[in-house]
Amino acid sequence: MDVVLGANGNIGSYVVNELRMVKGGDPIRAVSKTGKFITFVRSYSVKGVKANALDLNSLQTAVKGASTIYHCIGRPYAKYSELRLIMDNVIQAATKEGPHTKVVYADVVHMYGRESTLKGPLTETMPHRAQGPKGKLRAELAEKLLQAHKEGRLQATIGRGSDYFGPGKMYNSFLNTYVFEKLGCSEIRLFGNLDKVHSFTFIPDFARALVTLGKSEKAFGQVWHIPHICSFTLRKTVESILKFDSTYELHVPPEFWDNEPSPIPPIRNMAKTQISPEYQEFLYQWEHDWQVDSTKFTQAFSFSSTPFLKAVEETCEYYYLAGGEELPKYEDTGKII
């Protein structure tokens, strides 16, 4: 049985969807803390279960009978330290299921730290040199899981993705929050150096890659960088989205048509003070080139990332269909970047 922890989350819900598409796949158990599931997770082929991963007994019940556990639980930065107990409990619960139990862990690339970023594209072999508490914690979590694998307590594989985007309301996605949600607004507010390269991962690709790892014997005992969808400068990525949006109405169904392409809004900078204090530790990622090297993954598996503009189209379509919501306002520093 495939058990997805964090099945109501951004990555977890796409993992559930991906597992449903595996021909002759195993039964799926979707686990969330609240027990509430977004629509596409609710399906005749998926059993939804409520469990709190901070409580070992609750988690053990939720993973009973699992052959593969997809650990896609996320916590907001203010509650990041909970991830430590959650990882301890995932390891213990998987160990109890037996040494053949597989754990596929959805991870970030924050453990390498600023110094590594300056050396060029991030690879799986780079040392964990994060200086901030959250980056250090992410290093600790991954190292603990791989140690449990080495000790033969379970089988672990780690898929590390860069900043993701895609269809869905995603408070923890840079592109969704600051660009896609603002389409149609008179300006776009961003932070970071627009002329530095930044890798982004398309979230459905992230999930497909995690399932690829989960279904492949050779993936275990290792870390893999998930193929990213684009590694352009931030300016090129954002302008491509804005240009796509400005002509989007020309190729969507007639009821959405407007006669003219929308004007492309200017990109202005956001004051640093507007960025959450919890996120300051990671701002270096937006001030230097931030490229994730996924050569190891693409050479080992037959995997094609979604073409960038196709991903942009799918994400725009989501926002057109979902409709707009009240969007947060940012202080105008008056600078166009």
Residue 52 lies near ligand NAP (rule: CB under 6 A):
yes
Stretch that binds ligand NAP, among 19-27, 158-166, 233-241, 253-261 (CB under 6 A): 158-166
The single-letter DSSP state of residue 4 is E
Q: Which residues pair with 253 in a beta bridge?
A: none
The single-letter DSSP state of residue 259 is S
Number of shown-chain residues binding ligand NAP (CB under 6 A)? 25
Residue 53 lies near ligand NAP (rule: CB under 6 A):
yes
Question: Would you say 34 or 186 has its CB closer to ligand NAP?
Answer: 34
Residue 48 lies near ligand NAP (rule: CB under 6 A):
no
Residue 32 lies near ligand NAP (rule: CB under 6 A):
yes
Residue 106 lies near ligand NAP (rule: CB under 6 A):
yes
8 A C-beta contact, residue 8 and residue 38: yes
Residue 161 lies near ligand NAP (rule: CB under 6 A):
yes
We find the least distance from the C-beta atom of residue 99 to ligand NAP, in angstroms, to be 24
We find the least distance from the C-beta atom of residue 4 to ligand NAP, in angstroms, to be 10
Closest CA to 15 of 146, 141, 106, 109: 106
Query: DSSP for 21-39?
Result: TSTTPPPEEEEESS----G
Residue 9 lies near ligand NAP (rule: CB under 6 A):
yes
Residue 166 lies near ligand NAP (rule: CB under 6 A):
no
The single-letter DSSP state of residue 127 is -
Stretch that binds ligand NAP, among 49-57, 129-137, 241-249, 319-327 (CB under 6 A): 49-57
Does residue 190 sit in helix, strand or coil? Answer: strand
Considering only 2, 3, 4, 8, the residue that binds ligand NAP (CB under 6 A) is: 8
> Which run of H or E residues covers position 107?
strand 102-107
Beta-sheet pairing, 230-233 with 197-202: antiparallel
The rounded distance, in Å, linking the Cα atoms of 256 and 248 is: 10
Q: Which residues pair with 189 in a beta bridge?
A: 268
Considering only 3, 4, 11, 19, the residue that binds ligand NAP (CB under 6 A) is: 11
Q: Which residues pair with 71 in a beta bridge?
A: 5, 105
Considering only 26, 67, 74, 215, the residue that binds ligand NAP (CB under 6 A) is: 74
The rounded distance, in Å, linking the Cα atoms of 297 and 102 is: 19
Residue 54 lies near ligand NAP (rule: CB under 6 A):
yes
Catalog residues that contact ligand NAP under the rule CB under 6 A: 6, 8-12, 32-34, 51-54, 72-75, 86, 106, 108, 161, 163-164, 172-173
